[in-house]
Amino acid sequence: MNRNDEKQLETLSPFEVKDTLMNLAEKNKDHAMINAGRGNPNWIATEPRDAFFQLGLFALQESKATYDQYPGFGGMSEKECISTRFLSFCEQNEHVAGVRFLLNAFSYLTTEHKLDADELIYEWVEGILGDNYPVPDRMLKNSEFIARKYIEQEMGHKEGLPDSEFDLFAVEGGTAAMVYIFNTLKTNRLLNKGDDIAIGAPVFTPYLEMPELEDYSLNKVEIMATEETFWQIPDSELDKLRNPNIKAFFLVNPSNPASVKLSDETLQKIADIANERPELIILTDDVYGTFTDNFTSLAMLAPKNTILVYSYSKYFGATGWRLGVIGVNKDNNLDRMIADLPEQTRYELTERYSGISLDPANIKFIDRLVADSRAVALNHTAGLSTPQQIQMSLFSLLALMDGGKEYQENAKRIVRARYHTLMEKSLKEPTITESNVNGAFYYVEINIQDLAASAYNNDFFTWMKEEYEPLDFLVRLAEESSIVVMPGGGFDAPQWSLRVSLANLPQSAYASISTAINTVLGSYYQTYLNR
């Protein structure tokens, strides 16, 4: 690939670049491809899945018991005494994987949280069968309770947090959450074309790309974290949020690609600005929070300003399930901002939602998200599929019950061991070590400039930058070693950097990646010496 081709390729999203690199890697028949480009974990949480399938068998048993007119047909389950029949099923099958989990979950919810036994099991049975539309459409009652307890536990480790309770909207993963939020903020005139929004960078690329689309036409102001500050945001950058022209602040925490959470000190500074500016809308995407120690979400520190996005995909190995939630505090500034819109705008919005409520002017922001997700007119069919919500509940329960802490520690051990293997042969001391309390270690950003300067000298890198495109390093990795990584520049990390996913490969592969990076850098240096 020549330099002009690389220049053109650099204009694409890093996810599109990855596909080209994969094609190059596959052409090398001397090596099996090692794809460290995608963040899909290569593990799954088995206990909640065992429980899901056993619950499905009980649900089918219930269905078949209520309808026998024709073979191959079942009916809707009977709610009365369904928990008694559930316990009988569990006792008969206690030796089967997943049943003990169901029993423990039932006991935990009905004893510790006093949930009605028949209501709980009826929701699980009807939900897993998927024989009814989601009711409530935003999220099933007990499923929301369970997911809320999970969010409160995993997203709120800091003591002395403000009192808050979140309404949740179950959605098709974090990506759907992004689409719904952008759309409803625009539709309800909370963000308008030409508005300035701040983006915490480096960041997951769609947060950089979506605001620029004609649909939104928002002006981006980047709030930059740097490697020099261990991927924290310096005060000089945070001060940009005090500008009244900044309407919103979107961030991914822990970050992507650096995979480092914001420190408690940094988060508190943002929360203080939010308290000063009640009109500042904050969106925090916290999908990697469970891979860090003692994680606290900005949504817990500034609950009135903040929309929380969480996805179950990475932690539980469930990208194919498409499971996520949007959380909005019951007492929030978004609802107040809608109420304070100009009269004509409020009239137009009242007209928009008039077909789904007798009091459309007072529909909460989170319920507007639900309606807008189905273009309002199809609001009656809104909601995440009920089998997905039941699996989400079981994932949540794994973390809430005994054994949840062990699962978390093991998940952290997996990615940290891979990080150690990758960095063991690095030509430069890593910026973030495994003992760093802010590290998530789901990805790692490797700065080629720092690597070149540390292993050789600054003049060598100056020459590299003049002679080659930043993407050339990734192209060589793919062509020569069949190794695929993501370009860091596409995430607004330094142009001469790359992102390695620590989630989707066996640990031994990371030694090969590190060796290949060193080899490619060495080949540039030989060319430099022989020039």
pLDDT digits (tens, 9 = 90+) for 270-295: 999 999 999 999 999 999 999 999 99
Cα separation, 208 vs 192, in Å, equals 17
How high is the mean pLDDT of the chain? 95
Cα separation, 484 vs 507, in Å, equals 16
CATH topology of domain 46-131: Histone, subunit A (1.10.20)
Residues across the chain:
531
Residues sharing a CB contact under 8 Å with residue 158, sequence separation 6 or more, in sequence order:
264, 294, 296, 300, 301
pLDDT digits (tens, 9 = 90+) for 468-502: 999 999 999 999 999 999 999 989 999 999 999 99
Whether residue 388 has pLDDT greater than 80:
yes
pLDDT digits (tens, 9 = 90+) for 16-37: 888 899 999 998 878 889 999 9
Q: What is the CATH number of domain 141-329?
A: 3.40.640.10
Q: By 3-state DSSP, what share of the chain in percent is helix, strand and coil, each rounded to 5?
A: 50, 10, 35
Query: What pLDDT was estimated at residue 437?
Result: 84
| CA dist list (Å): 90 to 111, 348, 399 | 17, 54, 21
Say what percent of the chain tops pLDDT 90: 86
E-strand stretches of 13-64: 34-35
Specify whether the backbone of 194 is left (phi greater than 0), alpha (psi in -120 to 50) or beta: left
The answer to whether 273 and 238 are in contact (CB under 8 A) is: yes
Identify the CATH assignment for 3-30+405-530 out of 1.10.10.10, 3.40.50.150, 3.40.50.300, 3.90.1150.10: 3.90.1150.10
Query: Using N-to-C axis directions, what is the helix angle for 471-481 and 14-27, rounded to 10°?
Result: 30
> What are the residue ranges spanned by the domains of the chain?
3-30+405-530, 46-131, 141-329
Closest CA to 324 of 162, 444, 151, 521: 151
Whether residue 1 has pLDDT greater than 80:
no
Question: pLDDT tier at 4 (50, 70, 90 boundaries)?
Answer: confident
Tokens of 122: 């009826």
User: Rounded to two decimals, what is the model's pTM?
Assistant: 0.95
Rounded (5°) CA angle 264-270-276: 135
The answer to whether 186 and 217 are in contact (CB under 8 A) is: no
Mean pLDDT of 501-519: 97
Amino acid present at 157: H
Cα separation, 500 vs 446, in Å, equals 8
Output the DSSP codes for 497-526: EEEEESSSS-HHHHHHHHHHHHHHHHHHHH
Between strands 246-252 and 483-484, the pairing is: unpaired
User: Which residues are 329's β-sheet partners?
Assistant: 166
| Residue 24 main-chain phi, psi, to 5 deg | -65, -40
Cα separation, 376 vs 190, in Å, equals 18
pLDDT digits (tens, 9 = 90+) for 136-154: 999 999 999 999 999 999 9
Mean pLDDT of 393-412: 97
Query: What pLDDT was estimated at residue 30?
Result: 81
pLDDT digits (tens, 9 = 90+) for 311-339: 999 999 999 999 999 999 999 999 999 99
Rounded (5°) CA angle 16-21-22: 95
